[in-house]
Amino acid sequence: MAILLAAGLGLGLAGCSAPVTETTAAPSPTVPPGIAPLRGTPVDPAGAEHPSLAVKIDNHPAARPQLGLERADLVFEELVEGGLTRYAAIWHSDVPDEVGPVRSIRPMDPEILSSFGGIVAYSGGQPQFVDAMKATPLLNVIFDDGATGLFVRAEDRNSPHDVVLAAAETVRLHSDLAEPRAQFDYADGAADATAVTAGDPTATIVTRFSESGGRAWDWDAAAVAYLRSQDGAADLDTTGTQLRATNVVVLRVEVDRGGEVPRTILTGSGEAWVSTGGSTMPATWFKDGPAAPIRLADAAGATIELAPGNTWIELVPADDGGVELVP
């Protein structure tokens, strides 16, 4: 039977809730040379000596399919106004020539992205949000604000869902910046990932950010990946291939709704669910501050290791969101 974790109703995953335990700050994860810091997979060390690129990517229905999203190391999905979601996607191990559609910055993005360093690209935003992003350690590359030649408007897309960034060229121009720190811990192989060895079988993960649409991840053993759907249809890339993830991490987060734009709070701790290899385990997430990486811990406080590969992080609101795990 499907298990619904409804925000605000006090419901939990029976028999395996994720208590928020006291913990001391853990050091940032480290990876040996030759391992991609944001993916945990083998990489040419010389080819990894460049910064990561974070880009605000549109998820309006008119913006799909997105350019280059399937090649991101990490993708954060966040709630924005109107009940829609938007992505903060990070590329490092595999930077495409073009990514997009690029959209504006939101108030939670400094908390999400500060720990990566490197570059952040977006298409503007409210002045206070832009100022907050500029105050981070990241190099800001902004459409119509000095980034001449790096952005274009795609002729086959309608505004405002048409801004495209020359991603590889942006990284090349700023290759003197440091490569990113590791954000998560990775097992040596998929079979050794913590959720695989300690989790429960899960065929489908459904996340709800609001009443405006939904998304799901279905485990596909043949593809060795979770396949993504949105609004009841397969979520495709520009080649017609369904978007997929090696790891799906769901974080229940508080959302400040005091202004016209909701702000996800990603500092502190809360419930989480980590899905890898067709299995899911409850967890607790910790983030000590904007510059600190997210730590995922099991009920005993031990750090959870993901499988090497790409990861999507779903920032599901605790007050109006939900998570459904279908065995």
**Token pair for residue 66?**
């997105």
- Reduce the DSSP state of residue 45 to 3 states and report it: helix
DSSP letter, residue 276: E
Mean pLDDT of the 7-36 span = 52
Q: Is the dihedral of CA 237, 240, 242, 244 positive or negative?
A: negative
Superfamily of domain 45-173: YerB-like (3.50.90.10)
Mean pLDDT of the 177-193 span = 96
The model's pLDDT over 249-259, given as tens digits with 9 standing for 90+, comes to: 999 999 999 98
Could you tell me the pTM of the whole model?
0.92
Q: Which band of pLDDT confidence, cut at 50, 70 and 90, is reported for residue 21? A: very low
Beta strands in 167-267 (DSSP E): 185-186, 200-201, 204-208, 215-220, 225-230, 233-234, 244-245, 247-256, 263-265
Q: What is the pLDDT of residue 60?
A: 95
Is the pLDDT assigned to residue 211 strictly greater than 90? no
Yes or no: say if 217 and 227 are a contact pair by the CB < 8 Å rule. yes
Mean pLDDT of the 71-87 span = 96
Q: What is the pLDDT of residue 25?
A: 47
For residue 284, what are the contacts with CB-CB under 8 A and spacing of at least 6? 18, 19, 20, 21, 23, 269, 270, 271, 272, 296, 297, 298, 299
Distance CA 286, CA 311 (A): 17
DSSP letter, residue 123: -
Q: Taking the domains of the chain in order of start, what are their residue ranges?
A: 3-31+183-326, 45-173
Mean pLDDT of the 135-146 span = 93
For residue 130, what are the contacts with CB-CB under 8 A and spacing of at least 6? 105, 124, 140, 142
Q: Which band of pLDDT confidence, cut at 50, 70 and 90, is reported for residue 26? A: low
Q: Do domains 3-31+183-326 and 45-173 have the same CATH topology?
A: yes
| Annotation: CATH topology of 3-31+183-326 | YerB-like fold (3.50.90)
